[in-house]
Structure 1
Amino acid sequence: MQTLLPNDARQLLDSEPDALFIDCRSEMEYLFVGHPKGAHNVPWNDGPDWEVNPHFVQNVKKLAGHVSARPVMLICRSGNRSSAAARALEGAGFATVYYVQHGFEGDLDTDRHRNTVNGWRHDGLPWEQY
């Protein structure tokens, strides 16, 4: 598993057209907070119970076309869920797994707000909301 800063992650995705980009936040975060353009939503955990998704690895395998050599990039809100999800994918045999440090919304600032210090959106990378 490798960690990349948001801008480095974008560059890797641009240079690796076969890379699979997974947003592992909840469905509500993906839909209502926004998400990186081109990212597929496969929640690592989701409400109402917030337990780890027992189908996560299988869902990613399906999106990858069951090709464990295909590079996979993971992103979540701040990097915690995506690092756990990356470990699960490596344990399932995925050879090239990355996760985005600081995630989509970034770390908390001194007022406990996100999107002001770092992260995908803070860095001005392409995202959408719907």
Structure 2
Amino acid sequence: MKHLPPREAHDYLRSNPHALLIDVRSEIEHHFVGHPLGALHVAWNDGPEWRINPHFVDEVKRLAGDGGERPVLLICRSGNRSEAAGEALEQAGFTQVFNVVHGFEGELDDSQHRNTISGWRHDGLPWEQC
């Protein structure tokens, strides 16, 4: 798995329009916190029990439609869930998996807030909120 900071991930997506950007956060995060423009949503885990989605790999395979050769970039809140999801995709045979480090909201600052030191939104990359 390759790891890209948000700006590099955005540049990669612009130069590789066939690549998929998948938001692996919960449905609530995806809709109410916001998400990168063009991101597809496939939750890695979701509430209320926060169990790993047993259909995650199959859902991504369906979206990729090519047996695992299509580049897939994964983003979550801070880069942790997306890394775990990427490992699952690699184990299932995906060969071009990218984790967006720092995720959508970035790392916690000294006051335990996000969006202040890193992340997709912090970097001013295009995003939307439903």
Alignment TM-score > 0.5, same fold: yes
Verify: 1:45 aligned to 2:45, yes or no.
yes
* Cα RMSD after superposing both structures: 0.6
- Rounded to whole Å, the distance in 2 between the matches of 1:45 and 1:66 is 24
- 1:8 is matched with which residue? 8
SS in 2 for 1:74: strand
- Give, in angstroms, the shift of residue 65 of structure 1: 1.1
User: What is the TM-score normalised by the length of structure 1?
Assistant: 0.99
- Please show how residues 51-90 of structure 1 align to structure 2 within 5 Å: 51-90=51-90
AA paired with 2:60? V
Identity of aligned residues (%): 64
- 1:97 is matched with which residue? 97
User: What is the TM-score normalised by the length of structure 2?
Assistant: 0.99
- Please show how residues 108-119 of structure 1 align to structure 2 within 5 Å: 108-119=108-119
Structure 2: gaps (5+ residues): none
Dislocated runs of 4+, deviation >6 Å? none
- Rounded to whole Å, the distance in 1 between the matches of 2:12 and 2:126 is 14
Q: How many residues align?
A: 130
- Rounded to whole Å, the distance in 2 between the matches of 1:8 and 1:109 is 22
- Give, in angstroms, the shift of residue 66 of structure 1: 3.8
- Rounded to whole Å, the distance in 2 between the matches of 1:76 and 1:115 is 13
- Give, in angstroms, the shift of residue 22 of structure 1: 0.2
Structure 1: gaps (5+ residues): none
AA paired with 1:52? I
AA paired with 1:20? L
